[in-house]
Amino acid sequence: MLEIERINVSYGDLQVLWDVFFEVKKEEIVALIGPNSAGKTTTLKTVSGLLRPFAGEIRFEGLAMGKMPIHKRVEMGISLVPEGRGLFPGMSALENLELGAFTAKGRNCKEETLAQVYELFPILKKRKKQAAGTLSGGEQQMLAIGRGLMSKPKLLLFDEPSWGLSPLLSKVIYEVIGQINHSGVTILLVEQNVRMALQLAKRAYVIENGRIVKQGDSRNMLNDQHIKEVYLGTESV
């Protein structure tokens, strides 16, 4: 479904991604893991169109879209739940959700999707009139995910969904990501919480210093010596 072909991305003179490649197949959950500032967020920003690769190509359902503007990619079915949530803090929770359904496709089935989102996160219905900036961290993450669903995406990108959440809330969010995947949405997950990500994803890629250094089945990764030492710490068995 999504093929990343040796993309190179830079901020001005500073190159941050070097020949990054990976693939996400239809209805899969793929995790992209790696340390801080390895290029995970940059990769997601490039897939969603906030950044452009200066070399390499991104294909979605076979279509080259390295130069396609962001809003076109949303129309094609790619949705990003950004790092730090990226909500519209001064607007109500409901308005945030409505904006998620900005595309023609999203608007056509807005009420229906909204009902599904409220089913996933009942608290959002209670909070719908409240300004997004006044919600708790967990509620904000729920709102960001709900908003991401409102465009009826085929591929949902998550950037650190457990960021700033308690372990308990992280678990809740991860369960929901699993449910979303069961409903047929393909998922690409970027995460620092490597253990959680590997437990949820089927396959994973490891990115370090802007390069993909490892790829494979998540289960194998959990037992990989390098992964254990660097990402899972001493507590791992």
Least distance to another protein from the beta carbon of 140, Å? 12
Q: Which of 23, 28, 95, 208 contacts another protein by CB under 8 A?
A: 95
Which string of x and - marks every residue 53-82 that binds another protein (by CB under 8 A)?
Answer: ----------------xxx--xx---xx-x
- Give kind and range of the element (H or E) at residue 9: strand 2-11
Among candidate residues 234, 224, 214, the one with its CA nearest the CA of residue 33: 214
Least distance to another protein from the beta carbon of 57, Å? 21
Q: Is 161 in the site for another protein (CB under 8 A)?
A: no
Residue type, 152: K
Q: Which of 25, 54, 90, 137 contacts another protein by CB under 8 A?
A: 90
Torsion of CA 108, 111, 113, 119, to 10 degrees: -170
Among candidate residues 42, 38, 50, the one with its CA nearest the CA of residue 7: 42
Q: Is 83 in the site for another protein (CB under 8 A)?
A: no
Region for 201 from its dihedrals, namely left if φ exceeds 0, alpha if ψ lies in -120 to 50, beta otherwise: beta
Phi and psi, residue 100, nearest 5°: -60, -30
Q: Which of 53, 100, 146, 161 contacts another protein by CB under 8 A?
A: 100
Contact region with another protein (CB under 8 A), list: 19-27, 93-101, 135-143, 210-218: 93-101
Number of residues engaging another protein in binding (CB under 8 A): 27
